[in-house]
Structure 1
Amino acid sequence: MIIWQPDQKINNGRFIIQGKPLGSGGFGITYKALEPSTGKLYAIKTLNQQMQLRNDFAEQQIKFINEALTIRGFDHPHILKVHEVIQEGELLGVVMEYIDGVTLFQHVQNQGQLSQTEALLYIDQIGQALELIHQKGHLHRDIKPQNIILRQHQQEAVLIDFGLTRNLATQSMTNSFTQGYAPIEQYRRKGNFGTHTDVYALAATLYYLLTADGLKKEEEEHPVPALNRKYDDEPLPEPRSYNSQISQRVNDAILMGMELESEERTPTVTEFRKNLGLVSSGDPEVQLKSAVGMDYRQLRDLLAAGRWYDANCVTGSVILAVAKREKESYLRKEDIEHFPCEDLRTIDQLWVRYSNGQFGFSVQKRIYQSLGGTRNYDEKIWEAFGEKVGWRKKGSWFSGGKWKWLYYSDITFDRTAPEGLLPLKNAMKYGGWGCVPSLLSRRDL
């Protein structure tokens, strides 16, 4: 039996184990490891001690590695990244990205049930990750708050455990499950498995995020298990009975996603996200037009994945490239006035579409003009605009309570931000505040 110890060197000294294991489950154990040559931290997962003692350990290890290789094919910002497989003696290990953060379960335990806005942000991110998994022909089968981790200092959720992942075509599956998050079909070896199986778990996760305070009063840490609902006639209380701040739309979407019988349940994650109001079903794809041949696919993909910080940086880069001001790294007023309308519209439409109308130049223009803004710079109107979109913030009482412009590092890059916050002026690197009114007064926005 092999157990890696703190400070132990593995893989011919390439990695050094750091401290105690990060965690251990029914199949695997995960270690934190340092790669001295790069200074980077990684998570390395192997089969745990119990699995190593099994007579079929060799077969189980091959199965474990094959599953890891499957995960490696799920290239998505909200799915744990798998880098490679290494060997230390007889033990194979999967090298993965190390995420410094807490699970959604720990997050809720620390601060209580989440606001609807924050909960939907995470469910939307994980939902998009699940859509990719399903497109690749697989089911996850173990979505729950404990298997979702939040990157530290970022509102970005990542799906981290794929131990029960199976091919969609598989009809007979092990009846492994997590109480409260598994649908009734997972209690059976042969059941009607499909994308609706993961929908139930995702809906149950949202149920928990929004109702945890009420559930704690009943000494529960999960929604009513499907088995209890099926055979003990124990009802599933609607989420709003625990949390009156939940909208009726979200309440109903959760209940549809947690329908007991699979035939009556929301069939796909995309449909579930639509029911929650996270997807605009009628929105056409944005045509990536450019007058100068600029490729906007990277910006589109970042926005589609909800990677707002990265998208903001790329927006700045493409604007400078289109204006042929990369060497100078800033725009002049005349550069903004002569910026190609096709490119400006493409950038704006991408931001508007993938933020569901929350971000974009045209959103900023509407807010700016509602305050009386024109092409001419007006300090008072500009400051009011900054306060409205979240670029300015009122200081604490001991600093005099004065409004101040925020540093780039103080900005929150997520969907909880105020309307019109993004794209940020900082990313565009204008020659001065007076240049921005020229952009927000363009007729082609």
Structure 2
Amino acid sequence: MAWVAGDQLQGGKYTIERKLKTGRFGINYIAKNKQHDFLLLKTLDVNSLTSLNQLEKERLETMFMREAVKLTLCQHEHIVKFYEPFKEAGYSCLVMEYIPGETLDKLGKISPEEALIYIQQIGAALTIVHQHHLIHGDVQPENIILRAGKSEAVLIDFDLVLDFDHELTTRRVRENVEGFASLELCTKNTKPTAASDIYSLAATFYYAITGQLPETALKRKIDNKRLIPPQELISSISNELNLAILKGMELEAKNRPESIELWLKLLNSNSHNANAESQNANAKNQNVNAEGQNTNAASHTNNGTENKPSVNWDKRMQILTLVITAIAAFGALLQGIASWNSQTTPPPNPTSTKK
């Protein structure tokens, strides 16, 4: 099955615009409704699954429609919106929100602070999914899209999000990008659980802040390959955050946090500790700056004190000069008065002689 641009579904309710990608279980399309809104159309093509017998195909199709109905109940700002399931020409379809933007894998390496925002948002979305007894099963950077122009991460491409208690919930590693799949997603006769999504989300966090794919679960288990702690690749993250990521990526599901909420609390507490450390560091810097300012002030005070004698001596010299000048002027004035008096005094009368 492959619809082409212009094909109309549900009596003209939806019109195919173009094909996006082909997965193991079907094809994704961009379509428009009668209001010309863009939508995403996910299909299930059981006829292409040659590895399944007819009974398994019927069961898978039934599960697809059942899970599609459940997904319409998972309403959350960080989950792609699911509108309605329907059947067209024998094929099962699910209409979803179309989100313009870039997927997380296109950003490359980002700061731990920015990555933590997105991981917390997707963690909140997975909480809703798990509350409805569903799993995503394919959490990875390629399936997290950032709304254009916003710092909002949205979980997309649920593919076949199947119930916990069914044997067909088992996914093979070929359906996942290596490095993001937990051990139970890579081995036969195992069922993924909420812990599987925790592993994948922790691995996504690992990739976002280091820019490197983590070692695969299979190689860690079979070949005893070492998972390089993220702190060895990016030294700026705290010890607590480093341990929280590694805890989420424990090989055995039983060793991971029991729920996505508990893992998020672990991340949040580590984030608060990191913020507290940052605040303490800032406080220390402020104290150092204050001490520096006090030292400068003291230095200015000392400089002022050292300069004062020089200023006082100059003033004293000026006053002394004025005093000396005044004394000299006064002396000259006295001499002038004395000279004037000597010139204005009449000469004495001569003594007369009797004959």
Which has more helix, going by share of residues?
2
Q: Which residue in the other structure is 1:139 paired with?
A: 135
Q: Which residue in the other structure is 1:209 paired with?
A: 208
Name the aligned partner's letter for residue 77 of structure 1: E
Q: Which residue in the other structure is 1:46 paired with?
A: 43
Q: Which residue in the other structure is 2:26 paired with?
A: 28
Question: What is the CA distance between 1:273 and its match in structure 2?
Answer: 1.2
Whole-angstrom CA distance in 2 between matches of 1:46 and 1:228: 33
Q: Which residue in the other structure is 1:90 paired with?
A: 90
Question: What is the CA distance between 1:98 and its match in structure 2?
Answer: 0.9
Q: Deviations over 1:288-331 (max 9, x none)?
A: xxxxxxxxxxxxxxxxxxxxxxxxxxxxxxxxxxxxxxxxxxxx
Whole-angstrom CA distance in 2 between matches of 1:171 and 1:86: 25
Correspondence for 1:268 among 259, 262, 267: 259
Question: What is the CA distance between 1:238 and its match in structure 2?
Answer: 0.6
Deviates more, 1:203-212 or 1:61-70: 61-70
Q: Deviations over 1:259-304 (max 9, x none)?
A: 11223222221121112126999xxxxxxxxxxxxxxxxxxxxxxx
Percent sequence identity over aligned pairs: 37
Question: What is the CA distance between 1:61 and its match in structure 2?
Answer: 3.0
Q: Which residue in the other structure is 2:242 paired with?
A: 251
Whole-angstrom CA distance in 1 between matches of 2:208 and 2:271: 23
Correspondence for 1:176 among 172, 176, 184: 172
Deviates more, 1:113-122 or 1:191-200: 191-200
Deviates more, 1:48-57 or 1:147-156: 48-57
Correspondence for 2:120 among 110, 121, 124: 124
Question: What is the CA distance between 1:226 and its match in structure 2?
Answer: 0.6
**Compared CA separation, residues 89 and 138, structure 1 to 2 (3 A):** closer
**Compared CA separation, residues 146 and 136, structure 1 to 2 (3 A):** same
Whole-angstrom CA distance in 2 between matches of 1:146 and 1:134: 20
Contact 1:273 1:279 (8 Å CA) reproduced: no
**Compared CA separation, residues 164 and 278, structure 1 to 2 (3 A):** farther
Q: Which residue in the other structure is 2:6 paired with?
A: 7
Whole-angstrom CA distance in 1 between matches of 2:94 and 2:117: 29
Contact 1:22 1:32 (8 Å CA) reproduced: yes
**Compared CA separation, residues 3 and 148, structure 1 to 2 (3 A):** same
Alignment of 1:102-121 (within 5 A): 102-106=102-106, 108=107, 112-121=108-117
- 1:63 and 2:59 are equivalent in the alignment: no
- 1:157 and 2:153 are equivalent in the alignment: yes
Q: Deviations over 1:192-239 (max 9, x none)?
A: 754322211110110011111xx2xxxxxx310111011111100010
Question: What is the CA distance between 1:87 and its match in structure 2?
Answer: 3.3
Question: What is the CA distance between 1:241 and its match in structure 2?
Answer: 1.5
Whole-angstrom CA distance in 2 between matches of 1:104 and 1:45: 21
Name the aligned partner's letter for residue 138 of structure 2: D
For structure 2, list consecutive stretches of 5 or more residues without a partner in the other structure: 277-355
Name which one, 1 or 2, has greater alpha-carbon Rg. 2
Contact 1:24 1:48 (8 Å CA) reproduced: no
Whole-angstrom CA distance in 2 between matches of 1:269 and 1:229: 23
Q: Which residue in the other structure is 1:230 paired with?
A: 221
Name the aligned partner's letter for residue 185 of structure 1: E
Contact 2:80 2:96 (8 Å CA) reproduced: yes
**Compared CA separation, residues 4 and 279, structure 1 to 2 (3 A):** farther
Whole-angstrom CA distance in 2 between matches of 1:166 and 1:92: 15
**Compared CA separation, residues 27 and 192, structure 1 to 2 (3 A):** closer
Name the aligned partner's letter for residue 73 of structure 1: L
**Compared CA separation, residues 193 and 50, structure 1 to 2 (3 A):** closer
Secondary structure in structure 1 of the residue aligned to 2:268: coil
**Compared CA separation, residues 279 and 139, structure 1 to 2 (3 A):** farther
Q: Which residue in the other structure is 1:196 paired with?
A: 195
Contact 1:45 1:94 (8 Å CA) reproduced: yes
**Compared CA separation, residues 62 and 194, structure 1 to 2 (3 A):** closer
Question: What is the CA distance between 1:186 and its match in structure 2?
Answer: 2.2
Contact 2:86 2:93 (8 Å CA) reproduced: yes
Contact 1:74 1:132 (8 Å CA) reproduced: yes
Q: Deviations over 1:31-85 (max 9, x none)?
A: 11112x3121111111248637776355443332222112112111111111112
Contact 1:139 1:168 (8 Å CA) reproduced: yes
Q: Which residue in the other structure is 1:367 paired with?
A: none
* Number of aligned residues: 268
Q: Deviations over 1:348-404 (max 9, x none)?
A: xxxxxxxx99xxxxxxxxxxxxxxxxxxxxxxxxxxxxxxxxxxxxxxxxxxxxxxx
Secondary structure in structure 2 of the residue aligned to 1:139: coil
Q: Which residue in the other structure is 1:81 paired with?
A: 81
Whole-angstrom CA distance in 2 between matches of 1:119 and 1:89: 43
Q: TM-score of the superposition, structure 1-length normalised?
A: 0.55
Name the aligned partner's letter for residue 120 of structure 2: D
Q: Which residue in the other structure is 1:297 paired with?
A: none
Whole-angstrom CA distance in 2 between matches of 1:93 and 1:185: 28
Name the aligned partner's letter for residue 126 of structure 1: I
